[in-house]
Amino acid sequence: MKLGYKKLLVFIIVLFAILITNTFFINFLSGYKIILFVIGLLVFFNFYFVMEKDRHRYLTDILFEILFYTIMFFILYYLLGIITGLAKTPNYYTIDGMKNIIIPIILYNSLREVFRYNMLCKADENKLCTILVVILFICLDLTNGFAVTRFKSQFDVLKYVALTFLPTLTRNICYSYISKKMGYKPVIIFDLIFTLYPYLIPILPNPSEYVISVIYLLTPLIFTYRILKFFELKKDDKIPRDYRKKRFKGLLLPVVIILILVYFYSGYFRFYAIAIASGSMTPKILKGDVVIIDQHNKKPKEGDVIAFKHEKVIIVHRVVKIIDYKHIVIYYTKGDANENIDDFIIEKDMIIGKVTNRIPYVGWPTVWFNER
């Protein structure tokens, strides 16, 4: 083994020792400390080995592919959201959100990829060093999460493997492969998009954590395959000159459809769509229908069908009685198919709005998915 590889091997072993200590004994790399740790590694690496410059070609083409892939991902993701439901995310555009979440993610992920690229460059064609570098970055991503995780049963272990370990494994293998082939810049851009979007987009699909883990497991694999396939075609000169225009034109209609659907399902705007999950309003509104709610109309009359929240559940029933007692308006509701009036009262602040339209059968996928 060459002297350079031996030096790299010693460096890797020392880093493994530090990460093992952090994981199993003293958790000293939490928060901004891990960012300072990676900065220190880069400084030491530059002094010990000398940093490499990223001179890879086709950066513009790679950025286009990342953009195309991102748009396709969000089209499919929001289509899934039509089935699983959409949810509003907490507001991270605050001083605490920026300081504790967004800025640390940007700094850590970017520095990590620069460090990964330089480590892989020094490993060069040495298979042992390359494999150890990949494992090292898997451990770096897992160290803090594993340190604070409590395994009380075999189920906790399986849950950790499914939700954390496997997505981290595939992500680091793919990132290492792309970084070695094409440099750290595409990896940083791709990684920041798919790490930050839950904190930056106010309305997101609401699938189970297991569905999310599958998404995070497959996304890097598909992206890696797509990038490599693209450059195989580019090398063989099989990509037409108007390639970009055709792809963007093909995306316009799906993007418009998704935006319209998100508009109706989000609840942020005047009109709001929800799927009916019961038959309590039969025959006027059937199970599996979608109803459109006018959120500006919160003063219903007797006979109006309204949507309201009761114990965190959205219910669509008809107003059958209104009582104005000392300027406090109380509404009594009933499902058309129910024999009795609802055994609770509705106040104005519980009302979402008046039902204005019905779209038959469209909500069945949402109902079916949520009943599973």
Sequential pLDDT tens for the chain (372 residues): 566 788 899 999 999 999 999 988 888 888 899 999 999 999 999 888 888 887 766 777 788 888 888 888 888 888 787 677 777 788 898 999 999 999 999 999 999 999 999 999 999 888 999 999 999 999 999 998 887 777 888 888 888 898 899 999 999 999 999 998 888 999 999 999 999 999 998 888 878 788 889 898 999 998 888 888 777 766 666 666 666 677 777 777 777 877 776 776 666 677 878 889 899 999 999 998 989 999 888 889 999 999 999 988 889 999 999 998 778 899 999 999 999 999 998 998 999 999 999 989 877 777 776 665
Query: Quick count: other Cβ atoms within 10 Å of Cβ 175?
Result: 28
Q: pTM for this one?
A: 0.76
**Amino acid at site 362:** V
Domain span holding position 335? 271-371
CATH code (residue 327):
2.10.109.10
Instruction: Answer with the one of 263, 282, 301 that is the final residue of a domain.
Output: 263
Widest pairwise Cα distance in the chain:
89
Residues 282 and 147 in one domain: no
Residues 60 and 42 in one domain: yes
Instruction: Answer with the one of 230, 263, 296 that is the final residue of a domain.
Output: 263
Query: Quick count: other Cβ atoms within 10 Å of Cβ 338?
Result: 16
Residues 255 and 281 in one domain: no
Question: Cα(177)–Cα(183) distance, rounded to whole angstroms?
Answer: 9
Which residue stretches of the chain are H helix? 3-24, 32-48, 59-84, 95-97, 103-123, 127-148, 154-160, 166-182, 184-200, 209-235, 243-266, 364-371
pLDDT score at 239 = 65
56 three-class SS: coil
| 126: nearest Cα among 4, 14, 236 | 4
| 129: nearest Cα among 277, 15, 297, 230 | 15
Number of domains in the chain: 2
Residues 285 and 204 in one domain: no
Instruction: Answer with the one of 263, 279, 311 that is the final residue of a domain.
Output: 263
Residues 321 and 192 in one domain: no
pLDDT score at 267 = 65
Pairing of strands 203-205, 313-325: unpaired
Residues 99 and 149 in one domain: yes
pLDDT score at 31 = 84
What is the distance, to the nearest Å, from the Cα of residue 222 to the centroid of all Cα atoms in its chain?
A: 16
| 306: nearest Cα among 366, 351, 252, 368 | 351
pLDDT score at 155 = 84
Please enumerate in sequence order all residues whose Cβ is within 8 A of that of 140, keeping only pairs 6 or more positions apart, or say none: 19, 112
Residues 275 and 259 in one domain: no
Question: Cα(1)–Cα(4) distance, rounded to whole angstroms?
Answer: 8
Structure tokens at 120: 């892989």
The single residue listed with the structure tokens 């007692």 is 325
Residues 194 and 85 in one domain: yes
Residues 27 and 98 in one domain: yes
235 contacts 261 by C-beta, under 8 angstroms? no
